Structure formats: structure tokens, C-alpha cells
Amino acid sequence: MSEKPFLDQRIEQLIDANLDRGREGLRVIEEWCRFGQNNKELIIKIKGWRHQLGLHHHDCYKNARFSIPDPGIGLSHPSQIERSAPLQVVSANCARVQEAMRVIEEFSRRSNPSLSKIASEIRYGVYEVELQIIRTSNKEKRINLIEKCSLCLITSPSKSLNTTVEKALKAGLKMVQYRTKSSDDLTNLSEANELSRLCKIYDSLFIVNDRIDIALAVDADGVHLGQKDIPVQIARKILGSEKLIGSSIHCLKELRLAEENGCDYVGAGPVNKTQTKPNLEAKGIKYLSETCNSTYLPWFAIGGINNTNLQELISAGTKRVAVCTAIMNAKDPSRNTIELLEAFQ
């Protein structure tokens, strides 16, 4: 059996430096989880890691801190100045922690196997924490977009589908819901993939109606579910926490259920009689104020809405609408989109 190596001051010094670096990086991540995301679970986890490293930050490491001149003191990199977004700062500090833990893991493997094991666990744990923070940030971005969104386009089958949608996006549309009743899955997938690509170009939300499989395949921002579609809880397990889930509601009971199930927004209607849902009775404007004004969820009025009746809805307190024929069947989709958007200004 080989003899346990003598731990010289150089190794003690580098372990000390990386314990400091790792704990500092963890503190930055923890503070963002605390103030930026209000995530108690991650706060507890990261605080625990900092405590573990603190317990192993022995005096032998601290005493070696100034025993040998450190040529790395004061060195920085231009990329540090370029970090402006919180997620950039968090990602940089996740990398800092991972690198520091790797150094500690390698150099303490023989002299302090307990510390080496802890460093390895933290290194792998930070990979998962960073992913969780990114997913939460992605969800926040989507929620912010939907809260600011006043107009959603629900597509209908069209030979000029892509052209019509892109014209609306160029005109300022920020949300597209792909709806199809076709049984041709390859065509559906191809259409959804192209619309998803267009929405990403214009920084707009792309939602798939009903089809969770297609939503996942094209990396959509979420799905919209009807009352007879797959339950929201199951959809959430499949999609994950970062995607949006919307629900069609027709009464207060369905609205409360959408809230309880964790939906991110709802479509309320139909306000008017519509060709898209001819079997549903028109609810009228009064229904919106009685049903939707009590919810904290963003809600879209839906059903036969166009330029001629939109102002009445806005006067009644409607902040968001979803339309189909008003844009899909328009001779000038760009002009109609602009007019609908301008009505909210």
C-alpha cells in the first residue's frame, strides 16, 4: 500500500483558496434564489452546502493563506464586466463553484477524503441547481410575456398559414396558439415546427392546442387544454414546470378548478357565437365580469371577437383577447393585427 502523501503548504493554500471561492459562489447563487426567485427549497440546500464547506475549512488551510505569494490575486477577466443579466451572474457563479469543487475534490482525495466526497457531491448538485434556476427563469419570462400580451392568434387550417402568421408577428403579435383537427400527424408536426421557429424569431409565445406530444417535439412554450382534454396535473408532469398550461373555461366552477390545478392562464368564452365552436352558446360580456374579474390568472376573452366588437369588450374591462377569423381570414392580416393591438392602447 502506498504511503499517504505529506500535505505541503502549497496544497493547503490552494484548498483554502478554493474553499473561499466555492463558498462565495454558493452565497451569490443562494442570494438570487432568495431575492430573485423566492425558492425556499434551493435556499436551504445551498445554505447546507456552505455550512458543510465551512466545517471543513480547517485552520491548517487558513494558516497557509499568506505563507506563499499568490500570483493570481487581483486578476480578472473582461467577461466579468459584461455580465448584466441576473441569470448570467448566477451561471458564472455556478461555474465558479463547480471548478472550485473539482480542485478540492482532486487535491484532498488522499489527505481529506471526507472533504473530497463533499466537494464531489456539491459539484454534481450545482449542475442540478443551475438547471432548476434556468427553468424557473424561463417560466418567469413566459409569464411576463403573457401578462403583457393583449392579443392571441388562434390558427385555423390555411394554405397560407405560415405567411399569415408571420405577417401578424411582424405587426406586433406576441402569442400564437396552433390549433388543428387534422389526423395527419406529419403535417401537424411540420406546421407546428415552422410556427414555433417563427415565434422564436419574433420573441413571441407559441402554444399548441391539445397536443402535448407536438408541443414537446417543437419546443413550444406550452399547451392549451379544453375541459375534455388530458388533466392539467398529468400535462404538468409531462411538460415540466417551465412550460405554460392554459385552460378553456366556460363558468366560475371551471375557473376555480383551473386555479387549483396550477394553470398559468385561461381562455374564457365564447363571448359571441362563433363558427369555430358552433355548438357552444354565446356567454356575452356580462359573463366575463361575473366570472373572470375575480381571478389572479391572466385571462383571454374568446369567441367571435373582431374589430367591430372589440371596443365594447375593452370598455367592460377586458385586457386580453384571442381571435381566429379576425386575422386568419383577413385580406390584410398585418393591418387587422395592428388595428386590434391599437385598440388596447
Q: Hey, which residues are catalytic here?
A: 179, 248, 277
> In angstroms, how far is CA 6 from the centroid of its own chain?
49
Short-list 340, 236, 318, CA closest to 271: 318
Residue 206 burial by Cβ neighbours in a 10 Å radius (0-12, 13-18, 19+):
buried
Inter-residue contact 220 to 194 (CB < 8 Å): no
> In angstroms, how far is CA 172 from the centroid of its own chain?
21
Query: What are the C-alpha distances in Å from 133 to residues 7, 49, 120, 142, 312?
Result: 38, 17, 20, 14, 42
For the record, the C-alpha cell of 166 comes out as: 408571420
For the record, the C-alpha cell of 308 comes out as: 367591430
